[in-house]
Amino acid sequence: MSAVTTSGRDQIVVALDAMGGDTAPQEQVKGALDASGPETKVLLVGDEPRVRAEVERQVGHVPPHIDFFHAPQTVSSHEAGATAVREKPDSSIAQVCRLVGQGEAHGAVSAGHTGAMLAAATLNMRRVPGVIRPAIAVVVPSARGPVVLLDAGASAEARAEYYPQFALMGRLFARDVLGIPEPTVGLLSIGEEELRGNEAVQAAHALLRDTPGFVGNVEGRDINAGLADVVVTDGFTGNVVLKALEGAASYLMTEVRAAVTRTTRARIGALLVRPALRGMRDKIDPEVYGGAYLLGVRGLCVITHGNASSEGLGNAVRLAAQGAREDLIGHFAAALGSERVPSA
């Protein structure tokens, strides 16, 4: 395959891990068929004979904007991500990242596990020039629309100097990929004035003052309230919060279901409200909203949920293509490469 560029109307190439996740390769193939077209080619990466057979089973032929890349190994969700990726260089999850790293695709999408994707991206892609630390961004639903939360787990340690870069990357992502014109940025902290946050967060606050769109500290409850379009935090806090929100959504839906089946009267009512409540979970659960985006490496990496449907996977491919088309990576480089690294 020839090298690809992101300028003009050239076709965008997205490498999709056809073997990652619980629903592979069926939903992966369906999602690829839905999202591919003259503007976006999808490269299905996995056990080629099996993936090709699935394409033919679904549509009877191989459409023009679908291609294959043979990766015979797979990484399961039970394996240790970093180890598995090192030991299986021919795994589909390692190869989608290598294809981007070598300029043969613009973006990588997998429903496999986040740790493996993070390891594969770190190993096989380069960082965008100027980026100190890649970050995992997740799109969380809120009362005022999608909110970008980062870092959701790429780095476990908090360093003040990471935050301005997280803010800039999150902002460009919100603008280029989610289409929010002038995204606001909040720093996740705690509210009581006695406890304005730990040392790293207080230092980060000082460094963020000059960041465009910075609105100051936000609290945990402000995430779902949508008080800022982009919420920056360290990878430990971000990961804990993201998973707490997922857990809350799951628990709440279980409780709602239990409540509406407790009495006959409620059960009848439940039948009537069910269509309205369908899709609620997709709306409130960050896990199924849009997946996780690894920002700061050369190419947009999207990690969707392991149970992702063809719709979710198609959407992830579209978002990766959208990022490439808007030249998100170029914008990161321009914003961060020229930036003086702030002192902590």
User: Which of the residues 278 through 317 are near a copy of itself (CB under 8 A)?
Assistant: 280, 283-284
CB of 183 to a copy of itself, least distance (A): 20
* Near a copy of itself by CB under 8 A: residue from 134, 153, 291, 323: 153
Q: Which is nearer to a copy of itself, 60 or 275 (CB)?
A: 275
Distance CA 69, CA 59 (A): 19
Considering only residues 270, 327, 330, 334, which one is a binding residue for a copy of itself as defined by CB under 8 A? 270
Exactly one of 90, 255, 307, 337 binds a copy of itself (CB under 8 A); which one?
255
Closest separation in Å from C-beta 160 to a copy of itself: 14
Asked whether position 243 contacts a copy of itself by CB under 8 A, the answer is yes
Contact 253, 277 (CB under 8 A): no
The one segment of 24-32, 90-98, 233-241, 293-301 that binds a copy of itself by CB under 8 A: 233-241
Bond into 25 cis (ω within 30): yes
Contact set for a copy of itself, span 11-50 (CB under 8 A): none
The smaller minimum CB distance to a copy of itself, of residues 92 and 142, is found at: 142
Who's near 270: CB < 8 A, 6+ residues apart?
A: 260, 261
Binding of a copy of itself at residue 235 (CB under 8 A)? yes
In one-letter notation, the amino acid at residue 276 is A
- Scanning 22-30, 68-76, 169-177, 270-278 for contacts with a copy of itself by CB under 8 A, the matching segment is 270-278
Query: Which residues have CB under 8 Å from 22's CB, separation 6+?
Result: 77, 111, 306, 307
Least gap, CB of 12 to a copy of itself (angstroms): 29
Residues between 79 and 108 with contacts to a copy of itself, criterion CB under 8 A: 80-82
Question: Which strands form 147-150's sheet, in the order they lie side by side?
Answer: 66-70, 40-46, 12-17, 107-110, 300-303, 292-295, 135-140, 147-150, 230-232, 185-188, 214-218
265 scored as a contact of a copy of itself (CB under 8 A):
yes
Residue 55 and residue 25 in contact, taking contact as beta carbons nearer than 8 Å:
no
Binding of a copy of itself at residue 78 (CB under 8 A)?
A: no
120-149 residues in contact with a copy of itself (CB under 8 A) are: 141-143
Q: Are 123 and 50 in contact (CB under 8 A)?
A: no
- Per CB under 8 A, 344 contacts a copy of itself: no
Contact 59, 66 (CB under 8 A): no
Residue closer to a copy of itself by CB (options 182, 255) is: 255
Residue 215 phi/psi, 5-degree rounding, is -110, 5
Per CB under 8 A, does 215 bind a copy of itself? Answer: no
**45, 99 Cβ separation under 8 angstroms:** yes
Which region, judged by CB under 8 A, interacts with a copy of itself, from 3-11, 12-20, 164-172, 235-243? 235-243
Number of residues lying near a copy of itself (CB under 8 A): 77
Encoded one letter per residue, x for contact with a copy of itself by CB under 8 A and - for no contact, window 185-214 reads ---xxxxxxxxxxxx-x-------------
